[in-house]
Each structure stands twice: as C-alpha cells, then as structure tokens.
Amino acid sequence: MGEDNQINVMVGKQILEKVNLNVEVARNGLEAVNMVKENHFDIILMDIQMPIMDGYLASKEIRKFNKYVPIFALSASVFMQIKDRMKESGINGFIFKPFDPEDLLNQIENATKNS
C-alpha cells in the first residue's frame, strides 16, 4: 500500500469512526474477499487499486457469494471506462479520493438506509 493510500485509509477511518461506525481495513483485495466471507458488513468501500487482487476482481469474487452488500468504489479517477468496469464487477457506487467527509457519510447513509 502506497503512502498516500495509507493516509487516505486513515482519513476515511477517522471520518467514519467519528460518527460511531465500526471500520475494518483490508490490506489487499484477497484479504477483503476473505473478510466479507467471514463477517457481516453493512457496506464495503473498495479501493480500485489494491495489491494482490484489485478492487474490480475482489468485487466480482464477493458477488459470487454476496449479491446484496453495497460496494462503493474508491478512486481518484473519473474516467468512463471505470464506470463500465464498476457495473460489470457488481460495484454499486463511487466515492472520490481524497475524501469529502460529507459526501462519504451521505453515500454510506443512503446505501444502508435502503438495505
């Protein structure tokens, strides 16, 4: 995990914990898949660029056994091909990095309200 990525993770975790959400962090895509297999999560914030298994592949793997948990892609990129790949990977939405705390919390609230 690159230094800027670690900072993003720390910032995101702080934003979420401030509003009393429990946060678990996976260091790579494979770890993320295994965590979802073994635990219940209300929402997944999936970094697209992760080591071992990227966010697209990890999301596809998760969708094989969990069709319902909302998955949001985290990326600094806004290109259209990302949106196409998100859909085919079973990703529900998109959150920009660096995080806008209000946007992050609103998206999580909206995703968990409907589930």
d(CA 69, CA 105): 17
d(CA 6, CA 108): 21
Domain 3-113: which topology? Rossmann fold (3.40.50)
- 34-65 residue pLDDT tens: 999 999 999 999 988 888 999 999 999 999 99
Whether 32 has a pLDDT exceeding 90, the answer reads: yes
Taking residues 93-108, report their average pLDDT: 82
Taking residues 4-16, report their average pLDDT: 82
Taking residues 66-70, report their average pLDDT: 95
Delimit the domains of the chain by residue range: 3-113
In the chain, the DSSP E strands lie at 44-47, 71-75, 93-96
Q: What is the mean pLDDT of the chain?
A: 86
- 74-83 residue pLDDT tens: 877 666 667 7
* CB-based contacts of 8, cutoff 8 Å, min separation 6: 47, 74, 97, 98, 99
What pTM, to 2 d.p., does this model score? 0.78
